[in-house]
């Protein structure tokens, strides 16, 4: 494939990133996503919308989030590296946002848009519950009805977030169909949307779904990379040399990557969940172990069988347990602009504990996958290499699950 | 040369009645039972057969059809087997139209060109693919039309007059009007609203209009039949099938008759309603 002049101009008018993306939805939803696209384009051009976003991000979400030099992790990894080796590691502290993850950046944008569109009822799908919590939070803030679909398996393993959503006034619907995880929650949210077309806004939590969602969610999350760029220039006087982030649907990663896509000196790594290991077949690494297919409104890499039936993903982390990936990542993968690697459940669990002990930061299990690969990559890179890892969320929600795995009863 | 779909709608119109379109899922609950059912449908009263292609993630379907798809997949159904069933069916029936209905991914993974060749060779007449709106016509709709297969488009209550021409543009065979906003097998269609919608669609097209998604009983089929060229019943047949399965979802001697009985009652209801001959 020829490298395009710019990696930042997509998608085209039909929502395609090369082969990927598109609008593969039922006719009932088609007028709705066209309306959404129009409303989003109008909002983007309206200074009042931008002012409302900026104020919300600053005063409610608590942005900018810090870019933090993880000194002890850096030193720890240098101790095991050859002389002169061991990249300098920075954390982009998205876990410090209100509600504890990057998800709120996107939800704020979508909820302000829903208000402009006059929608009173908000639906969302959630895996780890972070997107559900962020959505429930902003619905509480703006007095909107909120219904969150969550796979029954995830309801069980992310109990603290289920309780949080209920406290915030949302109703949480456990989804019993299919594999009872994120993909099924998304199916159920789409079924709700086709049923309640007039008053309902579907707030998708990642850079997936039909156009315009992948581009819109990316735009909202790009604040992560935009801030990182400014902060790094201020702290180090130059751009970072590499970026690394975990990938469920790919929103925290895309948010960090997108502002740097046209800076060829910046290497980009996405980390998928390898579950019990790629050869086991029990993983959630769509790019590493999947093929192009069509699901949830877009064409992208999917885990599936030879008949096009979607496979059940597996990951220790509910937020990464999805058999697809945002279409723009599929395109960045095929063009070679970004490199996609994977971390297993065990590697993520080890990184979770390591970073808690060395940095006093308990990461969520999702970014623990990225941290696991930082531990692999950093020692192979020189000391003057600046590496930014997106600390997309905090680990409070994972405490009961990790305690259970480590054999501690709370 | 007129197609099987055209011929069948014309024949029903000549009889002054709507066509009964029956939906069952291919391979539910197993290959042999499903094939026997497919063969039995025309004699039971089905004018047109919609054969559902199972998919793990049917986002426009309610619990009944979701479960039917999963039963079929658990029993080993594949797209290739579904095509083989149609081929066998065609050996004994060269007039009843068969329309495959499902989602794009299994077709995409099978390969569009290979699929169209094999479907045509098997005797498939048309395709309904839920997640391919006109915006994605280049994927399958245009190649299907070129291959001589009807691409049957869904029109819905949210398809307004402005959008309708785009939706109808490459539609062939018939128009499938989705009578409710929602998924299959849930809400009941309102016959009056459906009548208005069908009239609206007919202002834009000469194709027959069949109505589905909210039709469950012979009574509701009759009510819809008064205002449409075709009535589609799916979830109700699947519910009838499911009710006869044993605790491990296996077919029992009651399975086939339960479905064909209901098809018979639906056919009687539809045939009992005289309509002004459709043009
Ligand atoms: C903290 C955190 N990071 C990452 C993810 C994965 O989503 P995405 O890939 O869209 O960033 C989730 C999803 O729940 C999450 O909660």
A85 in B contact zone (CB under 8 Å): no
> Is this prediction's pTM over 0.95?
yes
What pLDDT does residue A360 have?
Answer: 98
Residues A379-391 pLDDT 10s: 999 999 999 999 9
Q: What are phi and psi of A369, to 5 degrees?
A: -65, -40
Determine whether the interchain pair A30/B158 forms a contact, defined as Cβ–Cβ distance below 8 Å.
Answer: yes
Mean pLDDT of A247-252: 98
- Angle separating helix axes A103-116 and A213-221, nearest 10 degrees: 120
Chain A residues in contact with B154 (beta carbon < 8 A): 26-28
The minimal CB distance from A308 to the residues B106, B136, B182 is found for: B106
Q: Which positions of B are annotated as active-site residues?
A: 50, 61
Q: Residue A179: closest CA among chain B residues belongs to which residue?
A: B56
Chain B residues in contact with A187 (beta carbon < 8 A): 57-59
Q: Is A373 among the catalytic positions?
A: no
The fraction of chain A above a pLDDT of 90, given in percent, is 96
Residue A167 has pLDDT above 90, yes or no: yes
What pLDDT does residue B241 have?
Answer: 98
Residues B20-32 pLDDT 10s: 999 999 999 999 9
Nearest to B109 by CA among A310, A308, A305: A308
**The pair of three-digit structure tokens given for residue B128, joined into one six-digit string:** 């309904």
Do the Cβ atoms of A178 and B54 come closer than 8 Å? no
Verify whether ligand 1 is closer than 6 Å to residue A393 (CB atom): yes
A177 in B contact zone (CB under 8 Å): yes
What pLDDT does residue B104 have?
Answer: 98
- Helix (H) or strand (E) holding A18, with range, is none
Counting ligand 1 atoms within 8 A of each CB, the residue from A91, A107, A252, A271 with the most, and so the one to mutate, is: A252
Do the Cβ atoms of A291 and A283 come closer than 8 Å? no
A293 in B contact zone (CB under 8 Å): yes
Q: Residue A311: closest CA among chain B residues belongs to which residue?
A: B56
**Ligand 1 atom with minimal separation from the A394 CA:** 1
Residue B178 has pLDDT above 70, yes or no: yes
Q: Residue B276 — pLDDT band, cuts 50, 70, 90?
A: low
DSSP state, residue B26: T
CA distance A185 to chain B (A): 11
Chain A residues in contact with B60 (beta carbon < 8 A): 26, 28, 191, 194
Distances (CA, A) of B52 to A4, A91, A162, A166, B21: 41, 50, 36, 38, 12
Determine whether the interchain pair A191/B56 forms a contact, defined as Cβ–Cβ distance below 8 Å.
Answer: no
A315 vs B1, more confident: A315
Q: Residue A2 — pLDDT band, cuts 50, 70, 90?
A: low
Verify whether ligand 1 is closer than 6 Å to residue A128 (CB atom): yes
Determine whether the interchain pair B109/A23 forms a contact, defined as Cβ–Cβ distance below 8 Å.
Answer: no
Q: Residue A35: closest CA among chain B residues belongs to which residue?
A: B158
Mean pLDDT of A262-279: 98
Which ipTM value was assigned to this complex? 0.96
Residues A182-203 pLDDT 10s: 999 999 999 999 999 999 999 9
CA dihedral of residues A301, A302, A304, A307 (deg, nearest 10): -60
Q: Residue A300 — pLDDT band, cuts 50, 70, 90?
A: very high
Determine whether the interchain pair A297/B57 forms a contact, defined as Cβ–Cβ distance below 8 Å.
Answer: no
DSSP state, residue A96: G
Q: Which residue is it, tokens 């779909």?
A: B5
Counting ligand 1 atoms within 8 A of each CB, the residue from A364, A365, A370 with the most, and so the one to mutate, is: A364
What pLDDT does residue B277 have?
Answer: 43
Q: Is A103 among the catalytic positions?
A: yes
Per DSSP, helices labelled H in A336-364 are 345-359
Q: Residue A27: closest CA among chain B residues belongs to which residue?
A: B133
Nearest to A257 by CA among A247, A249, A271, A245: A245
Per DSSP, helices labelled H in B158-254 are 164-169, 191-202, 218-225, 235-242
Residues B71-128 pLDDT 10s: 999 999 999 999 999 999 999 999 999 999 999 999 999 999 999 999 999 999 999 9
Spatial separation of the C-alpha atoms in residues A171 and A158, rounded to whole Å? 15
Residue A313 has pLDDT above 50, yes or no: yes
| Chain A / chain B CB contacts < 8 angstroms | 119
Spatial separation of the C-alpha atoms in residues B67 and A177, rounded to whole Å? 9
SS3 A102: coil
The minimal CB distance from B106 to the residues A31, A183, A307 is found for: A307
Mean pLDDT of B189-207: 95
What pLDDT does residue B278 have?
Answer: 44
The minimal CB distance from B59 to the residues A22, A187, A304 is found for: A187
Residue A310 has pLDDT above 80, yes or no: yes
What pLDDT does residue A410 have?
Answer: 84
Q: Residue A179 — pLDDT band, cuts 50, 70, 90?
A: confident
Nearest to B249 by CA among B34, B39, B76, B28: B28
Determine whether the interchain pair A294/B158 forms a contact, defined as Cβ–Cβ distance below 8 Å.
Answer: no
Distances (CA, A) of A218 to A94, A128, A389: 15, 19, 17
What pLDDT does residue A15 have?
Answer: 98
Residues B137-158 pLDDT 10s: 999 999 999 999 999 999 999 9
**Cβ neighbours of residue B275 under 8 Å, at least 6 residues apart?**
B16, B17, B18, B225, B226, B227
What pLDDT does residue A1 have?
Answer: 53
How many angstroms from the chain centroid is the CA of residue A312? 19
Chain B residues in contact with A293 (beta carbon < 8 A): 105, 108-109
Q: Residue A10 — pLDDT band, cuts 50, 70, 90?
A: very high
What pLDDT does residue B279 have?
Answer: 41
The minimal CB distance from A295 to the residues B60, B78, B105 is found for: B105
């Amino acid at each position: 494939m020829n490298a395009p002049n710019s990696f930042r101009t997509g998608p085209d008018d039909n929502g395609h990133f090369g082969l990927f993306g598109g609008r593969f939805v039922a006719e009932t939803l088609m007028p709705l996503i066209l309306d959404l696209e129009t409303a989003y384009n109008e909002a983007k051009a309206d200074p009042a919308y931008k002012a409302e976003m900026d104020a919300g991000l600053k005063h409610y979400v608590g942005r900018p989030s810090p870019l933090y030099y993880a000194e002890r992790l850096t030193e720890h990894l240098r101790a095991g590296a050859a002389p002169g080796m061991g990249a300098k590691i920075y954390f982009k502290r998205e876990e410090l946002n209100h509600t504890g993850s990057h998800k709120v950046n996107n939800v704020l944008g979508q909820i302000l848009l829903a208000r402009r569109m006059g929608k009173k009822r908000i639906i969302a799908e959630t895996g780890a519950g972070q997107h559900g919590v962020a959505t429930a939070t902003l619905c509480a803030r703006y007095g909107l009805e909120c219904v969150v679909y969550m796979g029954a398996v995830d309801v069980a393993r992310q109990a603290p977030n289920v309780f949080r959503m209920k406290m915030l006034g949302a109703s949480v619907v456990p989804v019993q169909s299919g594999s009872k995880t994120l993909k099924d929650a998304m199916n159920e949210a789409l079924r709700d949307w086709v049923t309640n077309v007039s008053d309902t806004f579907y707030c998708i939590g990642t850079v997936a779904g039909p156009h315009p969602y992948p581009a819109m969610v990316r735009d909202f999350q790009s604040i992560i990379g935009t801030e990182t760029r400014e902060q790094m220039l201020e702290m180090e006087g130059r751009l970072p040399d590499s970026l690394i982030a975990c990938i469920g649907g790919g929103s925290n990663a895309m948010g960090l990557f997108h502002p740097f896509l046209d800076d060829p000196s910046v290497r980009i790594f996405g980390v998928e969940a390898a579950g019990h290991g790629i050869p086991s077949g029990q993983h959630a690494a769509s790019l590493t172990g999947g093929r192009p297919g069509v699901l949830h409104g877009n064409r992208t890499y999917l885990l599936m069988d030879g008949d096009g039936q979607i496979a059940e993903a597996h990951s220790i982390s509910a937020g990464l347990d999805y058999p697809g990936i945002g279409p723009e990542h599929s395109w960045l993968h095929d063009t070679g602009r970004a490199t996609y690697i994977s971390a297993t459940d065990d590697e993520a669990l080890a990184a979770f504990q390591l970073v808690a002990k060395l940095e006093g930061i308990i990461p969520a299990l999702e970014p623990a996958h990225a941290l696991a690969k930082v531990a692999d990559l950093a020692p192979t890179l020189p000391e003057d290499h600046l590496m930014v890892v997106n600390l997309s969320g905090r680990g409070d929600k994972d405490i009961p699950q990790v305690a259970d795995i480590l054999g501690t009863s709370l | 040369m007129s197609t099987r779909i055209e011929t069948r709608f014309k024949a029903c119109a000549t009889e002054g009645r709507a066509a009964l379109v029956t939906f069952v899922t291919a391979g539910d609950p197993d290959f042999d039972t499903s094939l026997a059912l497919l063969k039995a449908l025309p004699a039971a009263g089905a004018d047109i057969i919609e054969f559902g292609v199972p998919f793990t993630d049917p986002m426009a379907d309610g619990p009944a059809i979701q479960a039917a798809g999963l039963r079929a997949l658990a029993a080993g159904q594949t797209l290739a087997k579904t095509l083989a069933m149609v081929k066998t069916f065609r050996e004994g029936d060269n007039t009843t139209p068969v329309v495959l209905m499902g989602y794009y991914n299994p077709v995409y993974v099978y390969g569009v060109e290979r699929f169209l060749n094999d479907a045509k060779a098997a005797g498939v007449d048309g395709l309904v693919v839920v997640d391919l709106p006109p915006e994605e016509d280049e994927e399958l709709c245009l190649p299907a039309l070129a291959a001589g297969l009807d691409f049957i488009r869904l029109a819905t209550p949210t398809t307004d007059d402005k959008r309708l021409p785009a939706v109808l543009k490459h539609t062939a065979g018939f128009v499938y009007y989705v009578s409710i906003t929602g998924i299959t097998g849930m809400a009941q269609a309102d016959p009056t609203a459906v009548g208005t919608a069908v009239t609206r669609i007919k202002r834009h097209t000469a194709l027959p209009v069949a109505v589905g998604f909210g039709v469950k009983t012979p009574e509701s089929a009759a009510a819809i039949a008064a205002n449409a060229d075709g009535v589609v019943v799916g979830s109700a047949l699947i519910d009838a099938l499911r009710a006869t399965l044993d605790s491990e979802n296996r077919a029992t001697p009651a399975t086939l008759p339960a479905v064909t009985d209901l098809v018979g009652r639906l056919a009687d209801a539809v045939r009992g309603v005289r309509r002004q001959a459709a043009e």
